[in-house]
A and B are shown apart, each in its own frame.
Chain A
Amino acid sequence: METLITILVGILVTVAVYLLLSRSLIRIIIGTAVLSHAVHLLLMVMGGLKKGSAPLLGENATSYTDPLPQALILTAIVISFAVTAFLLVLGYRTYQETGLDDSKELRGFTDE
């Protein structure tokens, strides 16, 4: 299972890098979103996908799942959600102001 998810992470990173390298602004934004999902999965895998019971005090299970990766991912997901939302709005506002969706044409933009 770990191997499978690691391969999935690799595929997601590939897709994200492809999107990030494209010229269209909206593709870049989607690329960053995919990229952060890839790293969230990686965090999960690196903690180990264990099949224990929920880490509660007072229960008598033989093995417990490590709760830390899940806490980390939850925080990271919230943060990436906020950043993606901000970036989408930023991209939209830039398109409104400049009428450009092309990162090449936006380069070195100084016109006030």
Chain B
Amino acid sequence: MNNIVVLPMVIPLLVGIILIFLRSYVKVQRVLSLIAVIATGIVSIYILNVIQSEGILRLDFGGWLPPYGILFVADSFSVLLVLTTAIVSTIILLYAFSTIGAVRENMYFYSFVLFLIAGVNGSFLTGDLFNLFVCFEVMLLASYVLITLGGRKVQLVESIKYVVINILSSWFFLLGIAYLYGSVGTLNMAHLSERIAEVGQGPLLTTISLIFLVVFSLKSGLLLYFWLPGSYSVPPTAIAALFGALLTKVGIYAMFRTFTLIFYHEPSITHTLIGIMAAITMIGGSIGAIAYKDVRQIVTYNVVITIGFILVGLAVSTEVAIMGSIYYLVHDMIIKALLFLLAGTMIYLTGTSRIEDMSGLIRNYPVLGWLFFLTTLSLAGIPPLSGFIGKLYVGQGAVEAGSYTLLAIAFLSSMFVLYSLLQIFMNAFWGETIISEDEETPLKNRLLVPCIILGVATIALGIGAESIAGYVSDAAKTLMNPQIYIDAVMNGNR
């Protein structure tokens, strides 16, 4: 029992509620929301270190011991993601201060960002399947509001699609929960894992696991990503960056959790299917990324490719591959935020999102240009940067497991990532400048500084991979040995 585990969800939630009453004080709202996300980050660093010394932490709400009550469980995997969420959202908030506009700031923008973060952190920390559903809904409702905030026509039209798709996937989630409760009689994840190991994962339970696969694929955009490009390209930059960095990752997290902790007995069916879906996702994403000439579309299709790549690690399911996926997940949250911010800044500077209409931006804005180049290299996985180590481990895991087709598709898709981003770089940054000195929109430092911080973060994560190596390998070990998690939840009645 450790009450600190609940703080990453409670801090943003409480501050978000307080901010509702401070609607007209925009400056106060900014400061408070920034303090809230930074506090979440500090708390999660503390929790991460406590886990290393004391093992997995658990908080039983109301003192009801598992499996009777609902609970929060913090292991290295979830807290690493909570920490990354805090870092990324801090920087995106910095960017939002100067770009989001007074209209949105007055319409509870910061409250909803904090609710979104509360939902994301709750999903990472919960140890109960129904609680996961509730936290998903908290996050999704906040995201519905954020995507429609401002009420431009195109936003409204795209968000209807997004909302209906998510209602359907929530419906499937409840369906899966109902069937699972009917057949096993519990919803506590550790207890579920224990019981399924006892009765064996028969055809019925495998079918139920496939329902969960559909649900989390819809949330994370694995194969079922058709809703993603539209809805991620309509909201303003800061919100799109928040979505690109956080929302799909929650689905990926849930998929890792369920398929390593609960339904790991029939890998020949479930994990093979995940592998096939990951491969198709990467192929589809690659086609999308090179097909469009619109910066926003290219960037959102890059999100799709990455989802496929991370899930290769789960499909292969060796400890090394899982480690690679975790590294890549952390890297991707940072670099996708950076990519979305850069794309948004380019659109802000040129007033267009088509790459044919931009040229020679690097002459006007050299720092922006080199940052974009850095992002390209990092996403492609060039060694000193953060993408490399994840790709290396995923590749190594795939070789160990002998899945060479997946490996080939995964690395070919990296080529397409490189190609699609270099296409933006060559078209928009290289060549003759078409903006003359006096037409030049000044690039404010307030826009550039968050991007630079994220750029430094990707270099630091690449060079200083050692510093998080201990946490990552601990997370991978817990994921590959469900017994550790079960023991911590069911037996460690501290």
Contacts and interface: CB of A to CB of B under 8 A. Distances in A.
Interface of A: 20, 25, 28, 32, 35-36, 39-40, 42-43, 45-48, 68-69, 72, 75-76, 79, 82-83, 86-87, 90-91, 93-94, 97-98, 103, 106, 109-112
Interface centre among B134, B153, B182 (most CB of A within 10 A): B153
A83 B159 contact: no
User: What 4 pairs between A and B have smallest CB-CB spacing?
Assistant: A46-B182, A46-B178, A94-B156, A109-B157
A79 B134 contact: yes
Interface centre among A72, A90, A94 (most CB of B within 10 A): A90
Interface string B305-329: 0000000000000000000000000
Given A46-B178, A83-B137, A111 B153 contact: yes
Contacts of B170: 79, 83
Interface string B196-210: 000000000000000
B163 A90 contact: yes
A43 B179 CA distance: 8
A43 B178 contact: yes
A39 B156 contact: no
Given A32-B164, A87-B163, A39 B174 contact: yes
Contacts of B167: 32, 35-36, 83, 87
A90 B153 contact: no
A43 B170 CA distance: 13
A97 B153 contact: yes
A23 to B, nearest CB: 13
User: Interface majority SS on A: helix, strand, loop or mixed?
Assistant: helix
Interface residues on B, range: 20 to 34
B32 to A, nearest CB: 25
18 contacts: A25-B160, A28-B164, A35-B168, A39-B174, A42-B174, A43-B177, A72-B177, A75-B134, A76-B174, A79-B137, A83-B137, A83-B167, A86-B141, A87-B163, A90-B148, A109-B153, A111-B153, A111-B154
B181 interface: yes
Nearest to A42: B178
Q: Which of B137, B151, B164, B167 has the most CB of A within 10 A?
A: B167
Interface string B427-453: 000000000000000000000000000
Contacts of B137: 79, 83
A40 B174 CA distance: 8
A83 B163 contact: yes
A103 B158 CA distance: 11
Contacts of A32: 164, 167-168, 171
Nearest to B137: A79
A32 to B, nearest CB: 5
Nearest to B162: A90
Contact of B181 (A47, A93, A109): A47
A103 B160 CA distance: 9
Contacts of B163: 83, 86-87, 90
